Chain A
Amino acid sequence: MSVRVIVACGSGVATSQTVASKVNRMLKDKGIDAVVEAVDLKSVDRYMEGSAAYITIVKNSTEYPIPVINGIAFLTGMGKDQEFAKLQKAIEDYQKKKIL
């Protein structure tokens, strides 16, 4: 089964889905078996369990139980590659943890 990554925005429709589609394309190009799912910011806590990383498009002060990736980078194009590398690592770590 593919690894799940979540991204959230206000309605879980527009911005988050834009980031999700973009990152999904990047993952596919690299041949990484993971799927980014867009969710509603109001319900984001319900999705933490079972996700490898959380791509956020807001500035958070809250601590999350899973690695947090800066989603703004994917929207503006600036620093996109570093954030993608971070995501890649989070997915690898998650897969390793699951095998153990």
Chain B
Amino acid sequence: MQALASVVNFFLGLGAAVFVPIIIILAGLFVRMKVKDAISSGITLGVAFSGMTMLINYMTGVITPAAESMLKFTGINLPITDGGWTTISTISWSWPYAFLMFPLVIGINILMLVLNKTDTFNADLWNVWGKIFTAVAAYYITGSVVIAFVIAAIQVVFELKIADFHQYRITDLSGIPGVTCTHKMTFLAAPMYIVDCALRKIPVLNKSFNAKDLRDKLGIFAENHVLGFLLGILFGVLARYDIAKILTMGVQCSTALTLFPVISKYFSQALEPISNALSEYMQAKFSGREMYIGLDWPFMGGASEIWLVIILTIPVTLLMSFFLPGNQILPFAGIVNIAIAVPAYLVCKGNVVRMWIECVVFTPIFLWVGTAFAPFMTELANSTKAVELASGQMISNSSIDAPIFTYAFSHAAKVIQGDFIPLIILLAWLVCFVLYSRALIKEKKEALAKGSA
């Protein structure tokens, strides 16, 4: 037993860039990949981890001094660096138990299909990391791996259920039949629905307008290199750098934002053969059954409304981060907040004005939750060496998917310590979820009745 423990510790001690590739090679062989392909996947994953470490160090090296200088001159104290979802997914994959999430996600999906509790088959095995993320937070709160997996399992069930409920509306909005969205970012649609009910009472807000023209004009601001440059300039000005340093800061920030997706691609590249093998296995198993295929959100990305609202939310997020009490995160790599715009799109069915109001209302929650998760993310990054941070440096994400759900469910166990707030938030979310799902079911029934009449 002790020998086993020391073997395990040896592997973990190698750091994520070595032990995660070893796990993926083993997992690849298990799903019958060719040896050379499995090894290729493993090494690609190692490259992804090392590349991300390099880049995150570069980013924190640029941002941290500026944040310190901003504190000195303006009194704005935002010590947490925002690494966006790419950083957080890197750190999540480095959790030693991360790969056990694959069998859990697939097992629950098969079970629910067999029992007719869902009609969705989740083909999006890339976002397994979203479950890992919630589990990691629960693990740090409770210290129990079992509880962490139980909470992740609950998340998997809710993802399938909301995908079932959303299916009709998503097909209606996207024009693509047979698919739905299993991404957990859609959980935020439940509380947004309550706000939308109130907003719809105001007649002015029922106007629709053409989002495409505006998006075409403003679109350049959301392109990574341009956005990074502008943020860098802004941070440089607030830090009272001189002109040369401000321009340098602009280019450096632009470099960081441009390279994040480039390196993150290696993660998808390395994990694709495994998720593809699993997904084909599932498709073969249920070939006779009629199902909706659950996908990641981008198939809805053709909607100009989503992009327009994302662009219009960027200045809101920045302003709020400076003045919102309790916020400690400086928005940077996570500032293109897809996780707020997509659920708003689903709830408001593309009404840009109401979508944007939803984004303004819910932005503080993203900043608070981003602040609240910084300690776990920083500790996990340091302990698995997924990302090597300088001492005292904190990292998080300003656009954590499904912030209310993720916070409430991962922190619910705090009730034992007498902290009832996460549990109350959890119950409130559940109520919203029930009300929202009823509205979606009603919408589908009415549309079907109309269609057949």
Q: Which residue of A lies closest to B303 (CB)?
A: A58
> A42 and B265 in contact (CB under 8 A), knowing A17-B272, A58-B302?
no
Segment with Cβ contacts to B, from A47-55, A74-82, A85-93: A74-82
Q: Are A17 and B223 in contact (CB under 8 A)?
A: no
Q: Tell me if B86 counts as interface (CB < 8 A to partner A).
A: yes
Q: Are B301 and A9 in contact (CB under 8 A)?
A: yes
Instruction: Mark out the residues of chain B between 258 and 316 whose CB falls within 8 Å of any chain A CB in the assembled complex.
Output: 261, 264-265, 267-269, 272-273, 275-276, 279-280, 283, 293, 295-303, 307
Q: Tell me if B178 counts as interface (CB < 8 A to partner A).
A: yes
Q: Tell me if B69 counts as interface (CB < 8 A to partner A).
A: no
> A58 and B300 in contact (CB under 8 A), knowing A40-B223, A40-B261?
yes
Q: Tell me if A69 counts as interface (CB < 8 A to partner B).
A: no
Instruction: Mark out the residues of chain B between 172 and 219 whose CB falls within 8 Å of any chain A CB in the assembled complex.
Output: 174-176, 178-179, 219
Q: Which residue of A lies closest to B279 (CB)?
A: A77
Q: Are B265 and A9 in contact (CB under 8 A)?
A: no
Shortest beta-carbon distance from A62 to chain B in Å:
9
Shortest beta-carbon distance from A71 to chain B in Å:
8
Q: Tell me if A59 counts as interface (CB < 8 A to partner B).
A: yes
Residues of A within 8 A of B102 (CB): none
Residues of B within 8 A of A14 (CB): 126-127, 264, 268, 296, 298
Instruction: Mark out the residues of chain B between 312 and 349 whose CB falls within 8 Å of any chain A CB in the assembled complex.
Output: 338
Shortest beta-carbon distance from B117 to chain A in Å:
21
Q: Which residue of B lies closest to A78 (CB)?
A: B178
Residues of A within 8 A of B338 (CB): 10-11
- State the total of A-B contacts with C-beta under 8 angstroms: 97
Residues of B within 8 A of A78 (CB): 178, 293
From A15, A22, A43, A60, contact of B295 by CB (8 A): A15
From B175, B176, B265, B301, contact of A13 by CB (8 A): B265
Q: Are A16 and B223 in contact (CB under 8 A)?
A: no
Q: Tell me if A6 counts as interface (CB < 8 A to partner B).
A: no
| 15 sampled A-B residue pairs with Cβ under 8 A | A9-B298, A11-B338, A12-B265, A13-B264, A14-B127, A15-B126, A15-B296, A17-B265, A18-B268, A57-B298, A57-B301, A59-B176, A72-B179, A75-B299, A76-B295
Q: A18-B268, A18-B275, A21-B272 are in contact. List 14 more A-B contacts (CB 8 A).
A: A9-B298, A10-B338, A17-B268, A18-B126, A18-B276, A21-B268, A21-B269, A21-B276, A25-B273, A40-B261, A43-B224, A58-B302, A72-B299, A76-B123
